[in-house]
Amino acid sequence: MKARIVTLPGDGVGPEVTAAAVAVLQAVAAHFDHEFAFEEHLIGGCAIDATGSPLPDASLKACQQADAVLLGAVGGPKWSDPQAPVRPEQGLLALRAALGVYANLRPLNVHPALAALSPLKEDKLRHVDVLFVRELTGGAYFGAKTRTPDTATDECKYTVAEVERVTRRAFELARERRRHVTSVDKANVLETSRLWRSTVQRIAAEYPDVKLEHQLVDSMAMLLLTQPGYYDVVVTENLFGDILTDEAAAIAGSLGLLPSASLGEGSRGLYEPIHGSAPDIAGKGVANPTGAILSAAMLLRHSLGLEDEAAHVEAAVAQVLEHGPHTRDIGGHAGTTDIRHAVIAALDEHV
Ligand code: ATP
Ligand code: MG
């Protein structure tokens, strides 16, 4: 198949890990006889430096015309002054909103070879295979904000339609997995959470084959640590999802390992590793590209419908996690390009 993929390497380690993910996609294209056209654009701090805007028009237009977008990371100390008129993160929020990618998927798996890196004991890590579905374009992040010298407010608003669409996405995904959805809210206190819960409850009736449970977010924060192996699909609103998925990332052992996909109505999606620009290691060639490579696998699956190819990439990554080489964040000495070569070699072996 032919596909147009826009890359937005961004700042810090973004360009290093994105290059590895692109190399893996090129290897997939060669093996499976696909034609992927890559087009690179600016976002974040490097875009501010070059154009004054964290999301230049040319970048946004290219993304809107692409089949999928692969992003590295944005931000860094150079642009972190809170008084600055424009900040790199604004580019990312604007891109998510413009692409309408309301469902953020973050899978959490713990590879047995890396169990020792997790703060949780090994017996807790057995069977950990959770897919978080975080609502990404509503709630407190996008509500009206006010500020006087001694008062501040952040409006948290959800419409039924916003809850319905992300709930349906979660149930559809659960059907391809273990048919168990946990919806997380704070319905004992928040009105938005009561709307969330009643809407999820009503949509669940369309999926009688999927089990639904509700959990309060404070309990969920604890349960994720005490019984992570119990959960399958976890769906929640924007702020709760942000917090719970960072907690989940800690369980995996390194931020460098985990991918994400942000999806909207069509097949176009935005794919990025969950880590940030990691300024402390940027430019040293030591960043772990695993999260970026696994994001590329999600791109193959969710935007291009190439399930076999996605599974091949995931198997190649699993083989490298099992036998090495490993980057420093997971206890090894290898560099970013060593991992890229090892993953491509593992792909070659299995295709
Ligand atoms: P952001 O605000 O952009 O989300 P952050 O403050 O969450 O950033 P990161 O940039 O993700 O922070 O980095 C947190 C720590 O994790 C740093 O010490 C960084 O070096 C490490 N880290 C992040 N990504 C990777 C990676 N791909 N490989 C190795 N280490 C990483
Ligand atoms: Mg962060």
Determine whether the annotation assigns residue 324 to a binding site.
no
pLDDT of 83 over the 90 cut: no
pLDDT of 187 over the 90 cut: yes
Query: Reduced to 3 states, what is the DSSP secondary structure of residue 130?
Result: strand
What residue owns the CA closest to ligand 1's atom 19? 278
pLDDT of 82 over the 90 cut: no
Q: Ligand 1 centre and the CA of 77: distance in Å?
A: 13
218 within 8 A of 193, measured Cβ to Cβ: no
CB atoms within 10 A of CB 271: 26
Q: Ligand 2 centre and the CA of 328: distance in Å?
A: 19
> Can you tell me the ipTM of this complex?
0.95
CA dist., res. 36 & res. 206, Å (int): 37
What residue owns the CA closest to ligand 1's atom 20? 278
How is residue 44 written in tokens? 């974040």
Q: Which atom of ligand 1 is nearest to the CA of 328?
A: 29
How is residue 322 written in tokens? 């099992």
Identify the pLDDT of residue 350: 82
In percent, the amount of the chain with pLDDT more than 90 equals: 93
pLDDT of 55 over the 90 cut: yes
How is residue 232 written in tokens? 């399958």
Q: Looking at residues 86-98, what average pLDDT do you find?
A: 95
Q: Could you tell me if residue 347 is left (phi over 0), alpha (psi between -120 and 50 degrees) or otherwise beta? A: alpha
DSSP characters for 76-126?
-GGG--TT-SS-HHHHHHHHHHHHT--EEEEEEE--GGGGGGSSS-HHHHT
What residues are in contact with ligand 1 under a 6 Å CB criterion? Answer: 13, 17, 73, 75, 255-256, 275-278, 280-281, 287-288, 291, 329
What residue owns the CA closest to ligand 1's atom 13? 278
CA dist., res. 32 & res. 222, Å (int): 44
pLDDT digits 0-9 by tens, 234-252: 999 999 999 999 899 899 9
DSSP characters for 32-64?
HT-EEEEEE---THHHHHHHS-SS-HHHHHHHH
Active-site residues: which are they? 141, 186, 218, 242, 246
**Torsion over CA: 198, 204, 208, 209 (sign):** negative
For 15, the enclosing helix (H) or strand (E) is helix 14-32
DSSP characters for 239-272?
HHHHHHHHHHHHHHS-GGG-EEEEE-SSS-EEEE
Q: Looking at residues 127-148, what average pLDDT do you find?
A: 95
Helix-, strand-, coil-residue percentages of the chain, each rounded to 5: 50, 20, 30
- Band (105; pLDDT cuts 50, 70, 90): very high
Q: Model-level pTM?
A: 0.94
pLDDT of 253 over the 90 cut: no
CA dist., res. 140 & res. 238, Å (int): 8
Determine whether the annotation assigns residue 288 to a binding site.
yes
pLDDT digits 0-9 by tens, 307-340: 999 999 999 999 999 999 999 999 999 999 999 9
Q: Ligand 1 centre and the CA of 140: distance in Å?
A: 24
CB atoms within 10 A of CB 191: 11
pLDDT digits 0-9 by tens, 17-31: 999 999 999 999 999
80 within 8 A of 16, measured Cβ to Cβ: no
231 within 8 A of 182, measured Cβ to Cβ: yes
pLDDT of 292 over the 90 cut: yes
pLDDT of 351 over the 90 cut: no
User: What is the 8-class DSSP label of residue 327?
Assistant: B
Mean pLDDT of the chain: 96
For 172, the enclosing helix (H) or strand (E) is helix 160-175
Q: Looking at residues 95-110, what average pLDDT do you find?
A: 96
Selected residue with higher pLDDT from 290 and 111: 290
